[in-house]
Structure 1
Amino acid sequence: MAIWNRLISAVGGRRLIVALGAVYIALAVGRAVVRTTAGTPLGNVLVISLLVAGPGFVLLYFGYRLPAFDIHAEFYAAIAAWCLAGFGAMGTVLVVYSLQPGEIVDDFSTILILTALGSVAGLAVGLHDAEAKTRTRELEHRNEELQVTQSELEETVDELETANERLATSNEQLEHYREYTDHVLNAIHDIFYVLEKDGTLQRWNESLCEVTGYSDAEVASMNAVEFIDGDDRDLIEDAIASGFETGSTQLEAELRTKDGESIPYEFAASTLETPEGEVVLAGIGRDISERTERQRELERRARQQQVVADLGQLALETDDLDELMREASRQVATVLDNEYCKVLDLDARRDELLLRQGVGWTDGIAGEATVSAVEADSQAAYTLENDHPIVVEDLETEARFGGPALLRDHDVRSGISTIIGPSDEPWGILGTHGTERKTFTDEDVNFVQSVANVLAEAIERQQYQTELEALVADLEASNERLEQFAYAASHDLQEPLRMVSSYLRLIENRYGDELDADGEEFLAFAVDGADRMREMIDGLLQYSRVETGGDEFEPVDLNEVLADVRDNLRVTIEESDAEITAERLPRVEGDRGQLQQIFQNVLANAIQYSGDEPPRVHVSAEQSGSRWTVSIADEGIGIDPEDQDRIFDVFQRLHSRDTHPGTGIGLALCERIVERHGGEIWVESEPGAGTTVSFTLPTVDEQDPERTSELRSGGPPVDRN
């Protein structure tokens, strides 16, 4: 760790924190520009950008403002180390999470947000750690000062004793030294004190009287615990006893003044022996109000960041908007120490807002109470007209607008309100209120806006999901109607086509000898057309029945499927002298008959379009997560790039029937089957350099361990000619 800190010190801890913040801001801005250019909705861009740029701004701000903190400069490197530790810890969590089977974090925005929040968390820990180290250093320094003072006192006492021995009547000189010591102690800005074992004050400086408001006479009659707030008195008594027992003590407590004010103080003391041989506890007390307030502010900011993160996670996990709104209202009111929080839902006419969810309000009004969105002096209307949060410190003196009855009836005086959603089409308002006059910080306002952004994104996501589900339902209904039409049309065409084919063959059998050459040619054309029409109808029937006519999915061994296809194509393979090689293929979840149809159609095409050379085809498989990618590669004539997008369309042919017969429905049927299995199919080809058809299929949940290991390890290709 020391080596790490020295490396960071060489670079500059403060510069490293500022640079890290600047990098996140730059990434957020860059992403926003790219996403906006790509057409991503501005709301989404702003939310993600704020979630990345916000922590970056925190790092940049605190890195720049480090000299203003009560932290020694040599501990800046430690703060930077904590930032990097937070970044590294979050990165490690993401890596470990991605190691889970089927789980991977591949969203760059999510990685940016989580590592940025991890860096900010590290910054908070680093600041706390650095302040503690600084306090320790200051305590050591004050102890050194105390030791020096003690040494000076001892020297003074020694000199006085020597003077008394030499000049018994030299009381004036002794008094002079005492006054000098008093001046030294009174010059110390911090409180100086000397305590006896029972807590009686034996000596103190003027700072004690100035801070507490008690006179010297009053202090002389008081015990040390009487200067401490009641809740900390037992702590002080234990600290005094511990100091006399161990030789030193240190603690923080609330110092109570004569007026009843409590001031946070840090006390440090060590034992020493008086000239009379009495052991006393001498120490210094320092006002830590500013440091305590800074620490509390950092804790508030960290809590606000955590609440936003938790609400964002809840928004991703739940589909219940009202649950999210209730939790958001509760968290906002709690963090800002307000009595009320509300989520107002703007109606379709945009003239009234419904109190949809909230905390602190009278029972029964949530879901019932409404607020005008159009009244000129309405706070809600004013909020809707502005693209930034509206802050009210005292509603009684507010001149911009008046409080609606909902706020007046609940004695509201202060609060923050902001729109939920884009300013031109707001969904509603998020507001939090208190019954006392209150000043809110910029961080408080940003916190409320961040929560509103989380709600807006959740609402937009649900609306999009609803629209998407409706669209999917429409598409499914349309596809079902098309399938029914195709099946009905194909089925109804079978009977007249059989009649045409039968009578054509009767004509050929009965009157073939009486036809001339033209008649025989015309009859042959008619028979061939009827046969091709039957093949197209059969293909269309298969295509329309992929969903309705398929079998239930089950574990299927693709090696067995390939063996069956080779048997079906045996004559074609032997006539073309085709060579088919294959690696060890996996077991997948699917419809065995339809998977056999895919292999047979693709292999038949590979043999048919092999060109002048004997066909050479290789079958392989590679696993990626929960899916297998099966590839069938040939060395045939290939496909032109401009034709590759349409080979999966129904009845699309790239060659004439005289050159390459077929219906043009084979690959379209393959695509339909692959889609039924939740996969994708695609082709990679260059003219004259062969074609590779690849498709994905789902893995079997439970496979034999030895077989899975064999599949994943690969191995030499197996020749299955």
Structure 2
Amino acid sequence: MNNAVKQFRLSKMVEEIEDYAILLLDENGNIENWNKGAEKIKGYKASEIIGKNFRLFYTDEDRENLKPESLIETAKTKGKAISEGWRVRKDGSQFWGSIVITAIHDEQGSIVGFTKVTRDLTDKMLAAEAIQQHLKELQLKNKELEQFVYIASHDLQEPLLTVSSFVELFKEEYGHLFDGDGQLYMEYINQATSRMRNLIKDLLDYSHIGRENGIRKVDVNGLLANIVSDLDQRIAVTGAQIIYGQMPSVTAYATELRQLFQNLIINALKFYRKDVPPVIEISAEPFKKGWRFNVSDNGIGIEPQHEEKIFLIFQRLHNREEFSGNGIGLANCKKIAVMHNGDISVKSVPGKGSVFSFTIAL
């Protein structure tokens, strides 16, 4: 195949490409050819545009700032210029273009022109902008919701404190007049106000997660050692073993990461099988840009249908007579994992134990 035929085939191949605008410019930026992709993206027919300068595709602001000339100059000095931005079609509408301008040299090394390849990325750009806008709206709503929860919970404490104070006064002044039923009713009121006080405290704790920016390098070995030390009494009472090997240092919200581990360990110490001392094993493994941690136990386990429910706020699987708590600990764990660009899940066998897995990817 001779050079003329090869050149013809190459020219026809470039001309037929529709997904990219592929242009040949002279040394001054004037357009010398026009393919189907250029017509599709920019709206001009070849007869309307060949011979005109590629500055035509730029916005008024870019032309005033000499953007086209700057790109040509970069291609001359560096061999290539790459840019993204809004470009103008024939009908005046704009598209987001990804542009590469490459210098063409003759045998002596002198620049004789440029190739210019443009790709229309408008759909991707608009989709990215929509996602960013949605994220901003979600962040704003989350802040508003957290503020509402904080204010509502804080304000609820005042009337509750009043109720508790008057109940105590009532018992002191008139308690000796109560019969058995009266004493029982007063005890119910005390228990109810105490539960409400704990619920409000838990709700406040939940709203506080992530309010302070405490991202730093955290030594998980030291963190776990401190938790085990703090839980020494519970561990002794249950006869528990907490086993873990060498742990990594991770970039994390230090306070919240401690709370996550502590909640999972406390749960394992709480939901254990009677006459079977808890054995809690903690391990870590690399995960994408971060780490996956596993906290396993040999406790009572969780039925499969409840494995998602347990991470919802105020969801309880057991009555208060069996196990204390308000059903917020694992909801806190979920929120903390999400804060770290991770997630949390559980795999469990009822009557044999559970494995909680969470990821940290900051």
| TM-score range for the pair, normalised by the shorter chain length | 0.7 to 0.9
The answer for the alignment partner of 1:576 in structure 2 is: 238
Q: Secondary structure at the match of 1:630?
A: strand
For residues 506 and 578 of structure 1, the distance between their equivalents in structure 2, rounded to whole angstroms, comes to: 42
Deviations for 1:233-276, whole angstroms, at most 9, x for unmatched residues? xxxxxxxxxxxxxxxxxxxxxxxxxxxxxxxxxxxxxxxxxxxx
Contact 1:619–1:631 (8 Å) recurs in 2: yes
Question: TM-score by structure 2 length?
Answer: 0.73
Match of 1:637 among 282, 293, 300: 300
Contact 1:340–1:360 (8 Å) recurs in 2: no
Deviation at 1:368, TM superposition (A): 8.4
Unaligned runs of 5+ in 1: 1-289, 313-327, 347-352, 370-426, 431-450, 700-721
Question: TM-score by structure 1 length?
Answer: 0.38
Does 1:292 find its partner at 2:17? no
**Superposition pairs of residues 520-669 of structure 1, within 5 angstroms:** 520-548=183-211, 550-612=212-274, 613-669=276-332
Task: From the superposition, tell whether residues 610 and 296 of structure 1 become closer, same or farther in structure 2 (CA, over 3 Å).
Answer: same
**Superposition pairs of residues 266-665 of structure 1, within 5 angstroms:** 290-296=1-7, 304=14, 329=21, 331-333=22-24, 338-340=32-34, 360-361=51-52, 365-366=56-57, 454-455=119-120, 458-548=121-211, 550-612=212-274, 613-665=276-328
The answer for the alignment partner of 1:78 in structure 2 is: none
Deviation at 1:340, TM superposition (A): 4.8
For residues 514 and 568 of structure 1, the distance between their equivalents in structure 2, rounded to whole angstroms, comes to: 44
Deviation at 1:514, TM superposition (A): 2.7
Deviation at 1:638, TM superposition (A): 1.2
Task: From the superposition, tell whether residues 363 and 622 of structure 1 become closer, same or farther in structure 2 (CA, over 3 Å).
Answer: closer
Task: From the superposition, tell whether residues 664 and 517 of structure 1 become closer, same or farther in structure 2 (CA, over 3 Å).
Answer: same
Amino acid at match of 1:620: S
For residues 551 and 587 of structure 1, the distance between their equivalents in structure 2, rounded to whole angstroms, comes to: 18
Task: From the superposition, tell whether residues 362 and 626 of structure 1 become closer, same or farther in structure 2 (CA, over 3 Å).
Answer: closer
Task: From the superposition, tell whether residues 364 and 293 of structure 1 become closer, same or farther in structure 2 (CA, over 3 Å).
Answer: closer
**Superposition pairs of residues 146-185 of structure 1, within 5 angstroms:** none
Deviations for 1:260-306, whole angstroms, at most 9, x for unmatched residues? xxxxxxxxxxxxxxxxxxxxxxxxxxxxxx443454467668x959x
For residues 237 and 307 of structure 2, the distance between their equivalents in structure 1, rounded to whole angstroms, comes to: 28
For residues 346 and 329 of structure 2, the distance between their equivalents in structure 1, rounded to whole angstroms, comes to: 14
Task: From the superposition, tell whether residues 628 and 291 of structure 1 become closer, same or farther in structure 2 (CA, over 3 Å).
Answer: same
Task: From the superposition, tell whether residues 509 and 614 of structure 1 become closer, same or farther in structure 2 (CA, over 3 Å).
Answer: farther
Contact 1:354–1:368 (8 Å) recurs in 2: no
Kindly name which structure, 1 or 2, has the bigger radius of gyration based on alpha carbons: 1
Q: Secondary structure at the match of 1:475?
A: helix
Larger relative contact order, structure 1 or 2 (CA cutoff 8 Å, min sep 6): 2
Q: Secondary structure at the match of 1:584?
A: coil
Q: Secondary structure at the match of 1:596?
A: helix
For residues 277 and 55 of structure 2, the distance between their equivalents in structure 1, rounded to whole angstroms, comes to: 82
Amino acid at match of 1:585: M
Contact 1:561–1:596 (8 Å) recurs in 2: yes
The answer for the alignment partner of 1:196 in structure 2 is: none
Amino acid at match of 1:575: V
More helix by share: 1
Q: Secondary structure at the match of 2:285?
A: strand
Contact 1:558–1:587 (8 Å) recurs in 2: yes
More strand by share: 2
Q: Secondary structure at the match of 1:482?
A: helix
Task: From the superposition, tell whether residues 298 and 339 of structure 1 become closer, same or farther in structure 2 (CA, over 3 Å).
Answer: closer
Contact 2:346–2:356 (8 Å) recurs in 1: yes
Amino acid at match of 1:593: T
For residues 305 and 11 of structure 2, the distance between their equivalents in structure 1, rounded to whole angstroms, comes to: 61
Deviation at 1:334, TM superposition (A): 5.8
Task: From the superposition, tell whether residues 332 and 569 of structure 1 become closer, same or farther in structure 2 (CA, over 3 Å).
Answer: same
Q: Secondary structure at the match of 1:647?
A: helix
Q: Secondary structure at the match of 1:585?
A: coil
For residues 517 and 608 of structure 1, the distance between their equivalents in structure 2, rounded to whole angstroms, comes to: 33
For residues 661 and 338 of structure 1, the distance between their equivalents in structure 2, rounded to whole angstroms, comes to: 80
Deviation at 1:512, TM superposition (A): 3.0
- Let me know the Cα RMSD of the aligned residues: 3.4
Amino acid at match of 2:261: F
For residues 210 and 334 of structure 2, the distance between their equivalents in structure 1, rounded to whole angstroms, comes to: 12
Task: From the superposition, tell whether residues 343 and 531 of structure 1 become closer, same or farther in structure 2 (CA, over 3 Å).
Answer: farther
